[in-house]
Structure 1
Amino acid sequence: MSTKKLNSNTPTARAWQHRAGELGSGLPDGFIVGTSTSGFQVEGGARDGGRHESAWDAFTTQPGRILDGSNASVSANHFHRQAEDVTLLRELGVDAYRFSFAWPRLQPDGRGGLSQSGFAFYDRLLDGLLRAGISPMATLFHWDTPLELRGGWLNRDTAQRFGDYAHAVGEAFGDRIDDWVTLNEPATVTLGGYALGTQAPGERMLFGALPVAHHLLLAHGLAVQGLRAADVRGRIGIANVHSLVQPAGDREADAVFSELVDVLHNRIFADPVLLGRYPQPPEQFTTELRALIEVDDADLRTIHQPLDFYGLNYRGPSRVAAGRGASTTADGQPSAAAHLPFHLEPLREYPATGSGHSIAPEYLGLSLAQLRDRYGDALPPVWITEGGAGFPDTVDERGAVHDPVRIDYLAEHLTAAVDAVRPGGIAEGVRLRGYMIRSLLDGFEWEAGYTQRYGLVHVDFPTQNRTPKSSYRWLQRVLSAR
């Protein structure tokens, strides 16, 4: 069976199975369901909202970087339509909302005091969420590095600047935020932004990007210290994308490169945070990964801060094969990884989202089990901090958006997560706190621009009209049935 992509308005054989009432009544007591966004993707307000440029703004101006040539200067205009979006959250009935502070909005130069306009925006947002009975989960960094921080994450000083920023934000908002995420996906920033160049700032340094990973992790540790020094009342954690990595075949080379990908994508980020050390490099790559060995113990102590939770962003598994891959990606763009001596093979037994991720909900439970088995008692309670799917939604002649495939996706992944940690489940013992659905709104999807939509709410970008999709109404019924 070949991998096939599904449109969100294509009926599937499973849609009728997901009775919202049954799923809602089966959610464990205290299990939190929320939605997420990130500042750069939905806020807009770049021209008239006081947000200065980030590395991503600069990246969008470079020809060929963004699939549709777009930018995020307006996007879903959440900066000006915040009250409407909080109403959508309240009517949806979610327990929590994960958003990100835009660093260039709060601290335009990446240093110094917080801007008054930026403070006022998030002050209103937090007050609105609390009035609506919605628990705020705030991310300090979701990829929008202030452009004024020259060198970005290649510069060790950026980590110190981030620690100072975290302390300032903690002092400003620490009395109203229940959960803090220091960094979102340092693996993606390192690999996409600095190793392969598919994301901002667009560097193609391969193993030369390893210092970026270390500086990001150092920033995490300094941010935890900064938040605790600010005496924030909320819980503190980090969110990273984890992918259960498998060799594509029985060849020794497949196994070797599979181990390498696991180290680069998963373990160099989780091991220092949870265990206080970098993983032992695969023997064949000791030279390339020597930056992981030549690390100051004082840095590791800073990185290895006590955490209240660990966030897992889940998209799907990875299957690794030796040899070069295709020269183009699934959407026809040149592949930045085509010259590597290994490639990721599609999981042909599964369908794929519009963004090309395998729809393999059972691997969510396996990923949770792998975290448990690797980190044992060092693993704090876990959140699914991002779970969702992008599809090229369409609006019908009545102005409605029907997305049964997204409903399937969410139902199957929510069920998989909850079942995995039940007594006798594959990830029994993991303390799973909740699931944050990406995303509340359609927005700017990084290098894909506006070609993919992740929202429960459709945004017509020219008019900014919001239309709740079928998946929004379905989730309403799930949550009301608890």
Structure 2
Amino acid sequence: MTMAGRARAATPDGGFPAGFRWGAAAAAPQIESAEGRGRSIWDDFAAQPGRIHDGSTPAVNNRAEARYAEDLDLMAGAGLNSYCVSVSWSRLFPEGRGPADAAGLDLYDRQVDAMLARGIEPWPLLAHWDVPSALEGGWLNRDVADRYAELAEAVGRRLGDRARHFVVLNEPATVAFIGHALAYHAPGLGSVDAFVAAMHHQNLAQGRGFQALRSVLPAGARLGTTLNIQPVHPQADTAADRAAAAALDDCWNRAFLDPLYGRPYPARFEAALAPLLRPGDMEIIAAKPDFLGENYYTSYRARPAPEVPFGATFAPPPDTLPRTDLGWAIEPEGLGTVLRMFREDYGNPEIVITEMGAAFRDGEEALRADPVEDDRRVDWLRAHLAQLQEAMRQGSPVSGAFVWTLTDNWEWAEGFVPTFGLVRVERDTLQRRPRRSLGWFGACARANRVV
């Protein structure tokens, strides 16, 4: 039986199907230090005053490149069986192009061996936003797609004899819209042209990454990619807000889902895309993934914004909804909405929840406990796993759930303030302190059910 077939199988006692992956997700540029790697666009962005909320940089982070064994021991001890973690593009290609850095490849080689030695299945992610600074123009430059193919080939050749699942790209919508339309993330641009170029060139790089991996991986390897599809609702029931929601849905969701599954881009992008599209691009982008990764955190509200590309941006959630400490609405039912969209609009592909999680601060009383108490995170995960189970009962083939994230990390423009980890990291000492959620999620993994 295929994994998709197993994912569809019902479990009458409320458990998950055999072979379900219970894991954590992480990104190299958020947990590794800058030691031994090249400069990335996020180093450049963090060097600009006022860009990072707490004034921090990714220079130290968690030093995971030296302390990964400690982190993997925490995972294995809890009972988690899978780890989706990116390599650092700027570590493997500090000059932006080949040959790949030997020391960097050795590092990720050792990490994969360390995972397997602990019974943890490695799910390498090719890159998580850390475009090397040496690649002039970044995602504005079409040539970046070829450089991404070089990254994919190098990682596939080195890790493909042991890793069986590869994730090609991560959250292109965030990169294109937040970094190139709103200028809130690196590289800090804000225009229609920048957004559309980043949108198309990421899609193209993703397709080239699939091609490169398929050319070097052994039979049986499974390839997917990760999008952060979120439901988009109008802020108010007005024609203007409904039009804004449709525009934001296109910019955030359909611009990446539609071409991946062989459809044209949404019509609103046609004029802006005309100078960028070349014959054969859409065939490359339609990569036919073996699975689709979904990163789910919340639902979005949209409002008109004439100053933003395509005239729509985010609106705050209703005051009636509970929120995380980042102000994100807690809406587990949105996960069910997304999975229904995949069933009804995109052929019901196999889904892996490659990120799901919430940022909550530790209070003084929680910090006195061992493990650190984080009941709100446990409640958040429990509610979203319930939505996952309901979607599976309705026919969604979901084969795994990965929590964002294993350890507290550097959360991009938010710095170190948001804490998403199943494990707390003391910033002054980098000491790891497990939270209750690590043991709880591990107990779910061991039982293959929500406990």
Work out whether 1:291 is the aligned partner of 2:257. Answer: no
Equivalent-residue separation in structure 1 for 2:446 and 2:313 (angstroms): 47
CA distance in 1, matches of 2:443, 2:402: 17
> How far apart are residue 402 of structure 1 and its match?
1.0
Q: Distance in 2 between matches of 1:165 and 1:401?
A: 39
Instruction: Give per-residue Cα distances to partners, 1:12-38, cap 9 Å, x unaligned.
Output: xxxxxxxxxxxx962333221110110
Determine helix, strand or coil for the equivalent of 1:356: coil
Partner letter of residue 298 of structure 2? G
- Corresponding residue for 1:149? 135
User: For residue 24 of structure 2, what is the aligned residue in structure 1?
Assistant: 35
Q: What are the within-5 Å matches in structure 2 for residues 400-411 of structure 1?
A: 400-411=371-382
For residues 448 and 82 of structure 1, the distance between their equivalents in structure 2, rounded to whole angstroms, comes to 24
The alpha-carbon distance between structure 1 residues 247 and 458, as it changes in their structure 2 partners (threshold 3 A), is: same
CA distance in 2, matches of 1:449, 1:339: 29
**Is 1:269 aligned with 2:256?**
yes
- Equivalent residues in 2 for 1:176-215 (5 A)? 176-206=162-192, 208-215=194-201
Distance in structure 1 (CA, Å) of the matches to 2:81 and 2:247 = 38
CA separation of 1:443/1:347 partners in 2, compared to 1, >3 Å: closer, same or farther? same
The aligned counterpart of 1:330 is: none
| 1:84 and 2:84 are equivalent in the alignment | no
The equivalences for 1:191-270 within 5 A come to 191-206=177-192, 208-232=194-218, 233-270=220-257
**Structure 2 CA distance for partners of 1:197 and 1:239, relative to 1, 3 Å:** same
Offset at residue 195 of structure 1 (A): 1.0
- TM-score, normalised relative to structure 1: 0.86
TM-score (norm 2): 0.91
Q: Conserved in 2, the CA contact under 8 Å of 1:129 and 1:135?
A: yes
Task: Note if contact 1:110-1:165 (Cα within 8 Å) is conserved in structure 2.
Answer: no
Question: Which amino acid counterpart does residue 26 of structure 1 have in structure 2?
Answer: G
Question: Cα offset for 1:323?
Answer: 6.0
What residue is the counterpart of 1:20 in the other structure?
none
> Which residue of 262, 273, 287 corresponds with 1:305?
287
Write the mapping of 1:8-407 to structure 2, written as runs, cut at 5 A: 26-44=15-33, 46-47=34-35, 50-206=36-192, 208-232=194-218, 233-281=220-268, 289-292=270-273, 295-322=277-304, 343-376=314-347, 379-394=348-363, 396-397=367-368, 400-407=371-378
Q: CA deviation at 1:349?
A: 2.7
Q: Structure 1 312/403 Cα, relative in aligned 2: closer, same or farther at 3 Å? A: same
* CA root-mean-square deviation: 2.2
Q: Quick check: 1:276–1:303 contact (8 Å CA) kept in 2?
A: no
Give 3-state SS (helix, strand or coil) of 2:265's partner: coil
Q: Distance in 2 between matches of 1:416 and 1:240?
A: 19
Q: How far has the Cα of 1:249 moved from its partner? A: 2.8
Q: Give the partner amino acid of 1:393.
A: D
Shift of 1:338: 12
Letter in 2 for 1:373: E
Q: 1:106 to 1:303 in 2, by over 3 A?
A: same
Match of 1:16 in 2: none
Hey, what does 2:400 align to over in structure 1? 434
> 1:180-221 deviations in whole A, cap 9, x for unaligned?
111100000101111111011111124542011100000000
Work out the CA distance in 1 between the residues paired with 2:308 and 2:26. Answer: 28
Q: Give, in angstroms, the shift of residue 158 of structure 1.
A: 0.7
In 2, Cα distance between equivalents of 1:136 and 1:321:
40
Give, in whole Å, the separation in 2 of the partners of 1:342 and 1:448. Answer: 19
Aligned to 1:384, the other structure's residue is in SS state: strand
Offset, 1:319: 1.8
DSSP 3-state at the match of 1:275: coil
Once the two structures are superposed, residues 373-399 of structure 1 have per-residue CA deviations (whole angstroms, 9 ceiling, x without a partner) of: 1112xx421111100011222453456
Q: Which runs of 5+ in 1 are unaligned?
A: 1-23, 325-335, 423-427
Q: Is the 8 A contact 1:36 1:386 kept in 2?
A: yes
How far is the alpha carbon of 1:372 from its aligned partner?
A: 1.6
Amino acid at match of 2:283: R
Amino acid at match of 1:442: D
1:415 matched residue in structure 2: 386
Secondary structure of the structure 1 residue equivalent to 2:99: coil
Which residue does 1:333 correspond to in 2? none
Supply the AA of the counterpart residue of 2:439: R
Give the direction of change, closer, same or farther, for the CA distance of 1:123–1:341 in structure 2 (3 Å limit). Answer: closer
Q: Which runs of 5+ in 2 are unaligned?
A: 1-12
Deviation at 1:322, TM superposition (A): 3.5
Which whole-Å CA distance do the structure 2 matches of 1:366 and 1:140 have between them?
28
Q: Which amino acid aligns with 1:148?
A: A
Confirm whether residue 472 of structure 1 aligns to residue 441 of structure 2.
no
Label 1:342 to 1:305 Cα distance change in 2 as closer, same or farther (>3 A): closer
Asked if the contact 2:28–2:128 (Cα under 8 Å) also holds between the matched residues in 1, the reply is yes
CA contact (8 A) 2:140 2:194 kept: no
1:343 Cα deviation (Å)?
4.4
DSSP-derived class of the 1:98 partner: strand
Q: Does the 8 Å CA contact 2:244/2:311 hold for their aligned counterparts?
A: no
Q: Within the alignment, does 1:463 sit opposite 2:449 as a pair?
A: no
Alpha-carbon contact 2:191-2:308 (below 8 Å) kept:
no
The amino acid across from 2:181 in the alignment is: A
Distance 2:208 2:167 in 1: 13
SS at match of 1:114: coil
SS in 1 for 2:267: coil
| CA positional deviation for 1:341 | 6.2
**C-alpha contact (below 8 Å) 2:140/2:201 kept by paired residues:** yes
Point out the more displaced range, 224-233 or 143-152: 224-233
Contact kept, 8 Å, 1:218 with 1:299, in 2: the verdict is yes
Indicate the SS of the match to 1:433.
strand
CA contact (8 A) 1:196 1:206 kept: no
Q: Retained in 2: the 8 A contact 1:65–1:447?
A: yes
Which digits, 9 at most, give the CA deviation of each residue in 1:90-119, with x for residues without a partner? Answer: 112112100001011112112111212111
Alpha-carbon distance change, 93 to 450 in structure 1, aligned in 2, over 3 angstroms: same
Q: Which residue of 2 aligns with 1:19?
A: none
Q: How many residues align?
A: 434
